Every structure is written in structure tokens, then in C-alpha cells.
Amino acid sequence: MFQLAARKPTPQTIAFGQDVARLRDEAALSRLELADRAAVSRSYIAQVENGTTRCRRDFAIRLDEALDTGTALTDVWDDILKSSAHPKFFTDYSMAESSAELLRMYAETFVVGLLQTEEYARVLLPTRQALEGRLERQKILEREAPPRIVVVLAEVALTRQVGTAEVMYRQCEHLLEASQWDHVTLQIAPTAYYRGVSGTFSIATQPTGEELLYQEMSTGGVTSQETSDILHCVGAFAEMQARCLSVSDSRDFIRKAMNQWTM
């Protein structure tokens, strides 16, 4: 099972963990006994109960089965999702992203969320809560030891207007700045056919080597831990990188795009 690295507790994860601990105590089980029933480590049960990790929904279901609590914990997990700043289809990936060591992203239509300006994101997102969620995600870039980020951006993302010309200019300006950060590699993919690529996707790699794939669709998105899915996208990403503009040429392309949006 994919397990996320420990992170700072939130009110939601603390509340969920307290429910897990209460139901475990009512069942007269130790953490080790519950871990054995749920086929995870004792330390992972401790992380869940302490609120330092947010398990996936399928694990909440397994906890209910292990504790014979019907859907009690699954219902709590669903309630937590309702208060999340991210849509349900993205929540698992946002968790993986927050603890990743390496992020590889291909954006086919718009600038990747982590590198969007607030003004650009505001045009795309339907609610203030969604905007706040995106800005919160971007805080991983401000860490003392941020993840390594490798971005391939389709050139059309810089020529398709989102908001005003000024919004696009500022967005290009931000990309140019981000491309010079030590932990960011940004390349532009010329419009072309790339074998195995049919839409935007991201791969979050944990310090342990575990990976989670997120793929966008017009109606939302899906995550996958399937080895075949991840290997397909890793291979497609590598081939696409080989045909992208160099980092230096990509910066030149961004500068030209900025000129296009100059008022």
C-alpha cells in the first residue's frame, strides 16, 4: 500500500486519528494488533492516530474491516474530504506531492499548478477555496529543502490567453524566474506528436522510491500506483524531454511569449 511520509498534523487528520484510536481502544486492540490485521506497520498506525499522515480512503475501509466498525471510519474520511480545498479526485495526489522528493510534470493545456501566479490561477479555478488550496500547495516551493521539480510545458500553454494580457505577461515572467531556481528544471515542448502522450500528467516520487501518478481528464482526474501506468508515463516523459527545447532555449521562448503579451 502506498504510504505517505509523516508531515505536520492538520485539524482534519488529528480528528480522524482520534477516531481511529478511540475505536481501537473500544475493540481492546493494541496498535501492533491493529497493524497486523490491516497489514501495515505499527508505526504507520501511530502516524494515522497522531494525525501526521492522511491515509487513503481504501485504507479507511480496511480499518473499518479490521475493527468491525461498519463504515464508521470511512464516513469520517469522507467528511474530511468535504472540507478539503482539493476535489476528491486530486486529494491523494496532493498528499503525495506534499511529501515528494521528486516531481515530474507535463502540462499540455495550462501552466502547471505549482508554478501558476495567483492571478492566473484565479481565472481557472471556480471557487476561493480552490484558489486557497492551490496557493497552499505552492508552499512546498518555499521549504528549506524543496522537492526537485522537472516540468515539461507545451508551448501552447504560453500562447493560449488565460485572463488578460497582463495576467499572461506576469505568468510568463514568473515562469522565467522559476526556471532559474536551483531545484526547478523547466523545458518547453514544441507542438508535435509525442509517442505515448495524450494529456497532462504528474509523477510524485517519495524519498522511499514509491511513486504515484496523476493524470488529468476533461471531467477531473485519476491517480494510479500501477507499475505499468507509471513506467509508461516515465518513458513518455523521458522521450518528450529529449525532444524539448533546451533549458536555455526554453527561457528564450518564454521571453518571446512575454513580448507577445506586452501591453
Convert 69-105 to b/e letters by CB count within 10 Å (16 or more is b): beebbbebbeebeeebbbeeebbbbbbbbbbbebbbb
Instruction: Give residue 21's pLDDT band: very low, low, confident or very high (50, 70, 90).
Output: very high
- Lowest mean pLDDT, pick from 118-122, 141-145, 173-177, 246-250: 141-145
| Torsion angle of C-alpha atoms 217, 219, 220, 222, degrees rounded to 10 | -60
Closest CA to 90 of 233, 225, 222: 222
Report how far apart, in Å, the C-alpha atoms of 24 and of each of 27, 33, 157 are. Answer: 5, 10, 50
Q: pLDDT per residue over 140-167, tens digit each? A: 898 888 999 999 999 999 999 999 999 9
Instruction: Give residue 252's pLDDT band: very low, low, confident or very high (50, 70, 90).
Output: very high
Angle 110-111-112 (CA atoms, 0-180°, nearest 5)? 110
CATH code of domain 88-260: 3.30.870.10
What residues does CATH 3.30.870.10 cover in the chain? 88-260
Q: 52 pLDDT exceeds 90?
A: no
Report how far apart, in Å, the C-alpha atoms of 170 and of each of 49, 117, 166, 230, 255 are. Answer: 43, 8, 6, 33, 11
And the C-alpha cell for 71?
463504515
Question: Which runs of consecutive H residues, i.e. helices, occur in 138-213?
Answer: 156-159, 165-178
Topology of the domain comprising 11-82: 434 Repressor (Amino-terminal Domain) (1.10.260)
Q: 16 pLDDT exceeds 90?
A: no
Beta-carbon contacts of 209 under 8 Å, excluding residues fewer than 6 positions away, are none
Q: 1 pLDDT exceeds 80?
A: no
The pLDDT value given to residue 99: 81
Report how far apart, in Å, the C-alpha atoms of 195 and of each of 30, 149, 233, 239 are. Answer: 51, 22, 10, 8
* Cell 474530511 -> residue: 80
Report the Cα–Cα distance between both ends of the chain, in Å, rounded.
51
The C-alpha atoms of residue 197 and residue 23 are separated, in whole angstroms, by 46
Between helix 57-67 and helix 11-26 the angle, nearest 10°, is 20
The pLDDT value given to residue 11: 62
The residue ranking higher by pLDDT, 175 or 95, is 175
pTM for the whole thing?
0.69
Report how far apart, in Å, the C-alpha atoms of 149 and of each of 1, 76, 118, 138, 183 are. Answer: 25, 34, 19, 12, 6
The residue ranking higher by pLDDT, 16 or 163, is 163
What residues does CATH 1.10.260.40 cover in the chain? 11-82
Instruction: Give residue 87's pLDDT band: very low, low, confident or very high (50, 70, 90).
Output: low
Q: pLDDT per residue over 180-237, tens digit each? A: 999 999 999 999 999 989 899 999 998 888 899 999 877 678 888 899 999 999 999 9
The residue ranking higher by pLDDT, 79 or 200, is 200
Q: 3 pLDDT exceeds 60?
A: no
Q: pLDDT per residue over 88-138, tens digit each? A: 556 677 778 878 899 999 999 999 999 999 999 999 998 888 888 889 889
Closest CA to 48 of 25, 19, 71, 81: 19
The residue count of the chain comes to 263
Instruction: Give residue 239's pLDDT band: very low, low, confident or very high (50, 70, 90).
Output: very high
